[in-house]
Each structure stands twice: as structure tokens, then as C-alpha cells.
Amino acid sequence: MTLPTVLEEAVAFLQPYEFSPTVLLACLGAALLYQRGWRRAGGGFGQALMFWIGLLGMYVMLQTQFEYYAQHSFFMHRLQHLVLHHVAPFLIAVSAPAAILGAGLPEGIRRLVVAPLRRNQVLQWLYAAIQEPMVAGAIFVGLIYFWLIPSVHFYAMLNVPLYNTMNWGMAIDGLLFWWMIFNLRVPGSSDMRHYGYRLLVLFLVMFPQIALGAFIALSDHDLFGIYAACGRILPITPLVDQAIGGLLTWVPAAMMSFVGGLVLIYRWNRQSRQGENPVSPTLGCAR
């Protein structure tokens, strides 16, 4: 295969399978805000790199030809959700982009939109409720289970609004969950005991994912017949496709809890040695 052919195929892959102006505007807006805030507030190279990789991962999963593969292969669908719900939100949250994104906001938007939203008591209560670690953990696991109920999954893959709701819900919930894990600057979380609380949540969400992934991977019949109806894009049997998808739900998804735990232990140890409040949520990156 020649270099021009490879480049042509790469360009073709990066073209949207189903163009979504919402995805484009969300990713482009976040990129522009981050770049504007970076010029104003600065930050560490590692911090920025994690944010950009996470944002790029979100875009690739939703606005390239990968979307076609995810609609015609169960394991590619599971890979898509692994990135949308685990890997990309993890990278974005651990990069602690709030200060940089805030610095990138125009003053008018900060004063007329953001400030009133932050003063809204109902929104504050709702945010505090869904960011309570056990609640956030239950939602995080519950969404995985819900969308993998065979009958629900069948209709979600056929109905465009429901399909988009599934993907957007996974991405938003992933951002909320991992933000809760790495952001200790929430009401009532000013002491180090909350590191242990979040470690417990990471430990607890790991086992339901292992159980679900193992059940799917080891099943001896096709649970998700929608991919046979739509036509599988890859030359593998339904059970092999399903087994790989189950393994993706089983192993790497659970491993993200382990990696997140290592990050929390590192920060907990650093804070303990320094004897200071957790004002810098970055992984050893310059502010």
C-alpha cells in the first residue's frame, strides 16, 4: 500500500459518518475555550496533553467513520463506549481543565450566563446530589447495564434519537463521574477522608462491570441480534464479536478503576506529605 493511498484512507476515515453539528460545536467550543484560557492562565504540558487527547478521543468516536463500525459490530460499539464513558472523560477530568476553561470564557458569558447558573439553588442541589460519590457510582454502572439490556440495546441501535441519547448520555455521565473522582473541591470534601471515600467508590464500581463483561463474554448464544440484522462489518462470528465486546467491558473498563485509584493514592500521599489542602487537582502538573 502506497503512502498516498494510506493518506487517502486516513482522510476518508476522519470524515463524519453521520455529521452532527452538536458534536462539532461542543468539541470545537471546548477546544477554543481551552486554547484561549491556556494563553491567559497557562498550565502544565502534561495537563494540556491529557485534555487534548481526551477531547480528540470524544470527537473520533462520534464524528468519524468509527461510528459506522460501532453500528455494525458489537465489540466496536463497546470500544466506542469504553472511550466515551471511561478513557476520554478520565483524561479530561484528570487534566483539571476547569480553571483554564473558565479563563477562556468571555467576560460577558461569565457574568450573564455562568454566574446566574452558579447562584441557582435548584441547580446547585441537583449537581451536589449527582456528584455524591455513591450516587455518581450507581449512575455510572447503571447506565452501562441499562444500555446493554438486549431489548433496550436493540431499539437504541435502530432509533436515531435514542441512539444519540445513549452516546451523549455515556459521554456526559463519564465526565461527571470522573470529575467527581478527581475533583475534591465540592461541598463537604475539604479533608483527606474523601480520598478514601472515592477509592471505595472506584473499588465498588469495578465488580459490576467485571460481572457484566464476564456474562457477555462467556455467553454461549448471541445476546445482541441487532448486529446480524444490520449486517456485521467484520468477518467474525457473532459469538466471537460478542466475546471481544464482553472482554472490553470486563477487563479495560475495570482497569480504569485501578488506574484512577493509583492517581488518587498519589495525590493523597502528596497531600499528606505536604500537609496542605487539595487546591491543585492536577497529577503533578504545573498550574
Residue 1: its pLDDT value, please? 64
Three-class DSSP category at 2: coil
Domain locations in the chain?
17-274
Return mean pLDDT, the chain: 89
pLDDT per residue as tens digits for the range 128-143: 899 999 999 999 999 9
CA distance 269 to 279: 14
* Spatial separation of the C-alpha atoms in residues 193 and 28, rounded to whole Å: 38
Whole-model pTM? 0.89
CA–CA separation, 188 vs 190, rounded Å? 6
C-alpha to C-alpha distance for 27 and 55, rounded to whole angstroms: 7
Lowest-confidence pick of 6-20, 77-91, 271-285: 271-285
3-state helix, strand, coil in the chain (%, to 5): 80, 0, 20
With beta carbons less than 8 A apart as the criterion, state whether 54 and 92 touch.
Answer: yes
Write out the DSSP string of 126-137. Answer: HHHHHTSHHHHH
Q: What is the pLDDT of residue 81?
A: 97
DSSP 44: -
The yes-or-no verdict on residue 18 having pLDDT over 90 is no
Q: Can you tell me the distance from the alpha carbon of 190 to that of 221, in angstroms, rounded to the nearest whole number?
A: 50
**The three grid cell numbers given for residue 121, joined into one nine-digit string:** 439553588
251's grid cell: 477487563
Whether pLDDT at 163 is above 60: yes
Rounded Cα–Cα distance for residues 99 and 105 (Å):
10
Report the pLDDT averaged over residues 147-160. Answer: 95
Q: With 50 as the cut, is the pLDDT of residue 63 above it?
A: yes
Q: What is the pLDDT of residues 193-209, one digit of tens each?
A: 588 899 999 999 999 99
Q: What is the mean pLDDT of residues 223-238?
A: 89
Which pairs with CB-CB distance under 8 Å and at least 24 residues apart come from 264-270? 264/181, 264/182, 264/195, 264/198, 264/199, 264/202, 265/195, 265/199, 267/195, 268/192, 268/195, 268/196
Q: Which of 29-38, 171-180, 278-287 has the lowest mean pLDDT?
A: 278-287
Q: How far apart are CA 154 and CA 226, in angstroms?
A: 6
- Beta-carbon contacts of 81 under 8 Å, excluding residues fewer than 6 positions away, are 144, 147, 167, 170
Helix (H), strand (E) counts: the chain: 16, 0
CA distance 85 to 257: 12
What tens digit of pLDDT does each residue of 107-135 get?
Answer: 888 888 888 888 899 999 999 899 999 99
Q: What's the rounded Cα separation, in Å, for the pair 199 and 206?
A: 11
The percentage of residues in the chain with a pLDDT greater than 70, rounded to a whole number, is: 91
Lowest mean pLDDT among 11-20, 79-88, 237-246: 11-20
Q: Is the pLDDT of residue 283 over 60?
A: no
| Whole-number pLDDT of residue 230 | 80
pLDDT of residue 3: 66
Spatial neighbors of 221 by CB under 8 A, at least 6 apart, are: 239
Question: In whole angstroms, what is the distance from residue 180 CA to residue 51 CA?
Answer: 16
Write out pLDDT tens, residues 38-60: 988 887 899 999 999 999 999 99
